Amino acid sequence: MASASGLSDSTVGRIWKAHGLNPHLSCPFKLSNDKPFAEKLEAIVGLYLNPPEPAVVFSCDQKSQIQALDRTQPGLPLKKGRAATLTHDYKRNGTTSLVAALNIATGKVTSTCLKQHRHQEWIRFLNLAKAAAPAERQVHVICDNYATTLVLCSRIQWT
């Protein structure tokens, strides 16, 4: 780069550093071999950029197996001259899964924690998201390859 631009190696290095560029690093990328991949990609991006009127578009995601931890004793509150305190030990309360739906038009997030990781809980969450949408509007849900999502998204019918 230095010889091509006529700058010194150190100048190029400073410019790259100032802009957070690391051209020596690479991230592996694998393009899908799904034949209708381009059409699917355009449909999803189209929902984000140009949602149909008067539809509501939710972008859903989940974080599974979050440890539900709690302190064994309450901490002392913050007060003048002393920072808030927390005990070093904790008790385990199992795990939970956080699921959330972002209404892309309003930025409002609908979320809940699920005790189990099954399709029944996913349906309850989808109904919660639907209830958050204005009545009588078509709802589009964009979600990743969450296992329960794959089983149900083609089957669910809201009335």
pLDDT digits (tens, 9 = 90+) for 65-109: 888 888 888 888 888 988 988 888 888 888 888 999 999 989 999
**Quick check: is 109 in a domain?**
yes
DSSP symbols for 10-64? HHHHHHHHHTT--TT----------TTHHHHHHHHHHHHHSPPTT-EEEEEEEEE
Q: Please indicate whether residue 159 or residue 128 has the higher confidence score (pLDDT).
A: 128
Domain that includes residue 156, residue range: 51-74+90-159
Q: Is 46 contained in some domain?
A: no
Q: Report the pLDDT averaged over residues 22-39.
A: 85
Residue 79 is assigned to a structural domain of this protein: no
Number of domains forming the structure of the chain: 1
Q: Look at residue 81 and tell me if it is in a domain.
A: no
User: Is 59 inside any structural domain?
Assistant: yes
5 in a structural domain: no
Would residue 105 count as lying in a domain?
Answer: yes
Q: What pLDDT does 148 receive?
A: 55
Q: What is the pLDDT of residue 159?
A: 43
Mean model confidence pLDDT for the chain:
84
133: pLDDT strictly greater than 70: yes
Residue 133: inside a domain: yes
- Determine the pLDDT at residue 8: 94
CATH code for the domain in which residue 129 is found: 3.30.420.10
Helical (H) or strand (E) element with 155: none
Inter-residue contact 155 to 122 (CB < 8 Å):
no
